Structure 1
Amino acid sequence: MKGYRRYIALIVLLFGALVLLEYFRPKQVDWSQTFSREDKIPYGTFALYELLPGLFPGQRIQPVREPVYTLLQDSTLHGNYVFVSKFFTADSLDIDRLLDFVARGNQVFIAAEEFTDELQDTLHFSTAFLNTTSPDSTAFFFTGQQQQVYTFPPNNNARFLRLEKPARYTVLGKNKAGLPNLARLPYGKGSFYLSSVPLAFSNYQLLTLNQSGYAATALSYLPVQPVLWDEYQNQGRPEDQSVFRVLMRHEPLTWAYYLALLTLALFLLFQSKRTQRVIPVLEPLRNTTLDFVQAISSLYFNQGSHKNIAEKKIAYFLEHLRLNYHIQTNEQDAELRERVISKSGASEELVGKLFNLIDSIHRSDALSDQTLLMLNSYLEEFHRQTSFGPQAPV
């Protein structure tokens, strides 16, 4: 272990240097569009969430980390349900709950660049990309306050709403190209508010561009009542925040994690070397069964007991048929031969020769070398043709 101390010290020193370098390095701006109330990055919604108590005085502001279907199973909930995300995703069950929630007299405000097909088909709208590079076209305003123009974050051309049934909608906001980007749709006793410019509600719009008036005015269309602020679209359920997800979200933690893995790999690489004497390899005990069989067979052969050898080989062959093919061998007649042929797959000619020779051996008093060799040849050929090989004697 003493020989590795210098390596361990070097690794610890490098790790400390990396931590200091990451700590004092100028922080890069994170331009991820998280729209999370917890993020103070440009495209988070921390600033807007802090403004909500002033926009809805005396009302409860409740962050939500549950799917729409799960949350709205409680039919006693009422208020304004606010979504701000890049993509609004919901299935048919979620949409049904939202429709029922609005029909009871509540409001749903959704700001997103893209919406799920189920909602678009139900409310008869879609979003489209404003294909222009002119900053004047992407600026926007409220239809009742055309003199107040808001600019969009640079390098982000705005989307607009394509309303399939415009008569049902009240257009509340447009871009300078004259296309709607904020609209109200009455439904039952409540209303849907749809916005195609979620970046207008981000920290960048409110703080860097100093245009918090747009978000405040857009949300002021909602009545003063409790607010359900959705975070499920942006962060998922609370239990989804695993340790590895947090590590991968922050670059310094990611590098620290990789460095820890590299350190562990180097430690295992050097420390796993053998540090004790080589253990001698013990030879396994040798199986002498075949030697015993060979010795016994040689004894019989040298004494000229060919008849005895043949009888034992025949008995072993019949036992082989009983064990592997489940054939009764008490009567060695034509029926036995047919069963052997059908179950073993051996040729009819071979089986006939083999059983004829067995009958001849049973009737004879002594055997010649040629007859014993012929029996052995027939048995070997039988085992080659069948799926079961010869079984070693016990």
Structure 2
Amino acid sequence: MNRKGKIYIALAVFTLLSIVALEATKPNELNWFPSYAKHHKIPMGTYVFHEQLDRLFAASKPINLDRPPFEYLENNPDVTGTYVFINNDINFGQSELDRLLDWTSNGNTLFVASSALENQLLDTLKLETSYLSQLDGFGFDYELQLKNKALYTDKVTFNNEEIQSSLLYFSSIDTLNSKVVGVVEKVNSSDSLKVAHPNIIKTPFGEGTVIVSLFPQAFTNYFMLTAPNQQYAASLMSYFSEEQPIYLDQYHKSGKIFYSSPLYLMLNNKHLKWAYYIMLIGVVFYIIFEGKRKQRAIPIVNPLRNQTLDFTRTIANMYFEKGNHHDIALHKIQHFMDYIRTQLYLSTETINTEFIKNLAARSNNSVEATKTLLNTIESISNTPNISASELETLNNLIETFKSKHA
């Protein structure tokens, strides 16, 4: 390889290592997934809310429930207190909603904070909702305010630029029974007149109370860690009774309470995740190319059969069937003479006493046996017709002679 090629390879390796280093040192992007899970410290988790709730209500010791509300209330029908549901979307279902409302009507409090509510709950409480920024798009600052003068009533600002979500408000409420707890309005709206819309209401239900909020973001880490938003969230917590237990739902959550996948630790780490993906891509390439090489079976090619022996047997049978023992003997003698020339390296032009001695020495045979064989060959060569027994005798003498040399 020339110098120019080595420089190109070095530049390619340096570029690759630089990309890997930049990716490894790049800060992780914020996870804006609306989990509302207790253990999540991401912006839309509720770790701070649960931490503060445990501090403010240490006497009642808030109880976290990871079971369906229907199951818990069926197994514990006599429990009393406040049942709190916080998530971006809550859908109880008719049976579970009826069970919760029955429990609430016995003098308990049902607190639901969700960006989307099911129609059964809205119909029961005679509520209708609408989007605050349905026509104007995203990217607004919203001002939130509580109406109870005994609570924190200053306006707090919420910006939805990062989470890109439209806020809901109650476009219609049961004015005879429902009381507005909180309102929301757009700060930089293009409307000529800003209007405060109700987004938190409180409704008596039987002997109990239902509080519905369309702003669950008030309990997220993102909202509570921005001053003075924590005062707004703390004022909402004042609707939880200190004298009765507080049940915090951990079942209706978008974020998982636990991770059932064994690959969670690997996929949660950026470097391990990409190593895993590269391994899978490599396996796919291996299957494609390796499978392509082996998908065509190699045909079995049988070697050509050596038919020399069969041909020889055929010719021998022809001679034997015709009874031409003399011709067979001559072929046998001719083949033996060729054996002497090629294997024992002796000339067969002159057969005399010296030739017999040399032949006997080189073949490890006695001189008498060698003489007997050569005399038999000479006798058969000069006889026009021989019998089968004479042919057999010649063959035995030749084979015995060759066996001594081998």
TM-score, normalised with respect to structure 2:
0.57
**Offset at residue 17 of structure 1 (A):** 9.7
SS at match of 1:166: coil
The separation in 2 between residues aligned to 1:218 and 1:104, in whole angstroms, is 22
The separation in 2 between residues aligned to 1:158 and 1:172, in whole angstroms, is 16
33-42 vs 61-70, which moves further: 61-70
The separation in 1 between residues aligned to 2:256 and 2:181, in whole angstroms, is 33
- What is the aligned counterpart of 1:180 among 188, 194, 198? 198
CA change 1:122–1:211 in 2 (3 A) is same
60-69 vs 249-258, which moves further: 249-258
SS at match of 2:170: strand
Code of the aligned partner of 2:233:
A
Query: 1:233 maps to which residue?
Result: 252
Q: Is the 8 A contact 1:65 1:236 kept in 2?
A: no
Map 1:205-354 onto structure 2 (within 5 A): 205-224=223-242, 225-235=244-254, 241-243=260-262, 254-268=273-287, 281=300
SS at match of 1:174: strand
SS at match of 1:73: helix
The separation in 1 between residues aligned to 2:86 and 2:156, in whole angstroms, is 18
The separation in 1 between residues aligned to 2:232 and 2:159, in whole angstroms, is 13
CA deviations on 1:74-95 (whole Å, 9 max, x unpaired) are 2133322111111111110110
Structure 2: which 5+ runs fail to align?
A: 1-15, 186-194, 303-406
Code of the aligned partner of 1:198:
P
Q: Is the 8 A contact 1:65 1:237 kept in 2?
A: no
**Offset at residue 18 of structure 1 (A):** 9.1
Query: 1:47 maps to which residue?
Result: 48
Query: 2:395 maps to which residue?
Result: none
Mapped pair 1:198 → 2:199: no
**Offset at residue 158 of structure 1 (A):** 3.1
Query: 1:7 maps to which residue?
Result: none
**Offset at residue 50 of structure 1 (A):** 0.7
Map 1:75-94 onto structure 2 (within 5 A): 75-94=77-96
Code of the aligned partner of 1:217:
S
CA change 1:114–1:253 in 2 (3 A) is farther
CA change 1:92–1:268 in 2 (3 A) is same
The separation in 1 between residues aligned to 2:206 and 2:73, in whole angstroms, is 17
Q: Is the 8 A contact 2:141 2:160 kept in 1?
A: no
SS at match of 1:138: strand
Q: Is the 8 A contact 1:125 1:164 kept in 2?
A: yes
CA deviations on 1:128-157 (whole Å, 9 max, x unpaired) are 111357999831211124851111233355
Number of residue pairs aligned between Structure 1 and Structure 2: 268
Structure with greater helix percent: 1
Code of the aligned partner of 1:180:
P
The separation in 2 between residues aligned to 1:204 and 1:236, in whole angstroms, is 16
CA change 1:197–1:274 in 2 (3 A) is closer
Query: Computing the radius of gyration over CA atoms, which structure comes out larger, 1 or 2?
Result: 2
Query: 1:71 maps to which residue?
Result: 72
CA-based RMSD of the aligned residues comes to: 3.6
CA change 1:60–1:26 in 2 (3 A) is same
SS at match of 2:104: helix
Query: 1:168 maps to which residue?
Result: 177
Query: 2:97 maps to which residue?
Result: 95
Query: 1:28 maps to which residue?
Result: 29
The separation in 1 between residues aligned to 2:276 and 2:138, in whole angstroms, is 44
CA change 1:117–1:211 in 2 (3 A) is same
CA change 1:265–1:229 in 2 (3 A) is same
Code of the aligned partner of 1:234:
K
Q: Is the 8 A contact 1:138 1:157 kept in 2?
A: no
15-24 vs 147-156, which moves further: 15-24
CA change 1:164–1:183 in 2 (3 A) is closer
**Offset at residue 16 of structure 1 (A):** 11
CA change 1:252–1:89 in 2 (3 A) is farther
Mapped pair 1:153 → 2:155: no
The separation in 2 between residues aligned to 1:41 and 1:34, in whole angstroms, is 8
- The runs of at least 4 consecutive aligned structure 1 residues that moved more than 6 Å come to 15-20, 133-137, 245-250, 270-275
**Offset at residue 229 of structure 1 (A):** 1.6
Query: 2:148 maps to which residue?
Result: 144
Query: 1:128 maps to which residue?
Result: 130
Code of the aligned partner of 1:165:
D
Mapped pair 1:189 → 2:191: no
CA deviations on 1:194-235 (whole Å, 9 max, x unpaired) are 111111221111113541111110121121132222222224
Q: Is the 8 A contact 1:79 1:228 kept in 2?
A: yes
